[in-house]
Chains A and B, each alone.
Chain A
Amino acid sequence: MSDKVLLDYGSGGRASQRLISELFLKHLGNDELNRLNDAAELTVSGRIAMSTDSFTVDPIFFPGGNIGSLAVHGTVNDVAMMGAVPRYMTCAYIIEEGLPMDDLERIVASMGEAVREAGVIIVSGDTKVVPRGALDKIFINTTGIGEIIVDPAPSGDRARPGDAVLISGTIGDHGLTILGTREGLDFQSKVESDSASLNHLLVRLVRELPEVHVLRDPTRGGLATTLNEITHSSGVCCELDEASLPVRPEVAGGCSILGLDPLYLANEGKFLCVLPEAHASKALEIMRADPLGRDACRIGTMTDANPGKVVLVTHLGGKRLLGMLEGEQLPRIC
């Protein structure tokens, strides 16, 4: 194969065939995908969670991951937030002509590792190559489905006054990493993306505690935006305790230099859990037993004071509104 991705590779002809067999099947292959049929034949049962996401992150390689691993983590997490076991995924690559083949291979290899780690398989895929300048390097779409294992499934409209609000770890790591890498900033301490598949931890959590009301991953728009979505859908108020928010000192430092608020920065390996107070300590115990949830903590409580609003109780003990992100803080973070 050429050392660069050429338009030929997206033609559907022999060149496409070579790219599929020598690269995609090598890293992503499984019995279903290897059949190379027009569609996958799947066996699923019961209620299904399904989610799709397109990944356009810039830069495509960043500390803690790359667009290939991120495209798996993002979709696996979205499916798992529904109290589902993710099973199957599809992926569609749109590649700019001229992308180094080594870069593509690194991306596909990362995707392969990520699906194996998450315990899902890629059952269908597509590759298009577009002329130089028609897009920036590479975009990937993934779609995933999984079987829902709790009834009712966790949902953004199920938060109730009195519920505890938990976060599975530190916030802002991914967003700051992307901006820092893009701007060529050299952080003195190590800042890296938290991109990871959370499904194994989430499945354990909902199996042991089917009482969980809401699971959400605070990706674009960050924790503040996700909490606003939940309070809005559920018609409750979230009182968030600023002093308990877990932020790595190096992330807090980077944010203060760049004028960013970690509450609005994307996370790709964290989830919010809203559940009845009585189960909060058990949930934290389960989360902290997993490396991906070792910094889990309680950050607030749902109340009926200001329905639809998030109120931040500040370090000083003052109270203020915590609104949604207005427009974009940073474009193309995932």
Chain B
Amino acid sequence: MADAAQSGAAAPGENILVAEDVTKVFPGVVANDSVSVEIRRAEIHCLLGENGAGKTTLADILYGVYRPEEGQVLLNGRPLELHSPRDAIEAGIGMVHQHFELVPPMSVIENVVIGTPAKQWLDLTEARRRLEEFFADYDVEIDPDAEVGRLSVGEQQWVEIFKTLYFGVEILILDEPTAVLTPQGIDELFRILRRMRDEGLTIILITHKLKEVMDLSDRVTVLRRGKVVGTVDTADVDQRDLARMMVGREVLMQADKAASTAGEPVLEVDEIHLRSDTGRGSLEGLSITVGSGEIVGIAGVSGNGQNALFDAVVGVRHPETGSIRIAGQDTTESAPHRIATLGVASVPADRIAQGLMMDFSVKENLVLGNQRERQFSRAGILNRGHIDAFATESIDTFEIKTPSAAQITRTLSGGNLQKIIMARELSGQPQLIVAHQPTRGLDIAATEYVRRRLIQERDRGAGVLLMSEDLDEIFQLSDRIAVIYDGRIVAVTEPDATTLEEIGMHMAGASDTDQGPP
């Protein structure tokens, strides 16, 4: 990529990639509505916007994944016909998607070689040499022969970036690259991205995090509901300006939360071990306690045992050793249904796969799991009148935007899907709420709503176990913060007694002997 600046027509500062009046329509949604963006050579250009603002769609158009209905893409002033990512790669455009596009059972080198014009008779020496050079150059320590599926998400991110640069691209698009990184990992990524920019690489970074825009970008284009709000020099604006452009109104950057004292323990997890099939994300003697009326936030990089902890508490998987008590009762070996009847609400990380039946109606999803309760059925026959009444009430209280209770769930937006789950899970006044990534992928309004709701539940007296990769969320909501690393809780502290950097250190596995598990 060092020689990128020498090729092409545009000098630094001139437009290299331009989208002109691009419109892309998906069934029922105008994802990009006459969007125009100008990217200059050797700049870091952020595309800022909420989820659903159309950032990724725009990037996918620039990368040839989608073809726009209207408008065109210009590279160095010439129209660029993009039929597939192949065309984009040949034009010197590379993209790292938010969901990694890796082949997990294959090695790092094999992942890098896929799609390159290498010889048919596989000779990986050249790829290995370039890969090792790159890693050495940027101080990244990854074994080129390691199986990609066994790398940490941070390492996988590097593989993604390098395999894109391996094509010799001049323009690198990164879609939410920091979502899986620790604060230190983000710093390192940004340091390297700045260096690559200085070496002549043009970088387009998609994000919804204001801080990242301020830290990194030269210019920023803000999108809202598929339209461009404006492009500004980052030096001319502050976070408040950007937030206003992004949301279209003033935003409260803080959730209001009164102080709270924890009552009787509602969840006691004691030294549990739970092996996962792949060996990654196992629990290795994890202990954590949640009291009534408190929110305990579990911070950690994904893949350190969050899924296993969630599954163990709600009873989907059972630990091999150790014990779990909920409201004083041993639930180590209990089935999910029994645990739910103890007053445990669960908000799973993957709301589509684990939380909802996407082809069922909204009202069916609102009673899913509770269908055996007396108010919803008698002798196995569903009481449709009660279900309708309950659904109407829930749609009202939880502000679920749906044409009707009979609407098929699949057609709703992410925020409304999460509200259906929240309405269902909170209907029984639970004692314990286990929430895994409850605001991932939600827009600001829905995020605010979910957070406010969790605080309300805490104030009512429920204990909340909150697992999130969003550290701001952890700091805003938690009464206590616990850091999960390698299947153990490595630190427990309070938000006022710690810093983002300290939590980040623990998330990366830097042990601190002063702060052991509780």
Q: Are A and B subunits of one complex? A: no
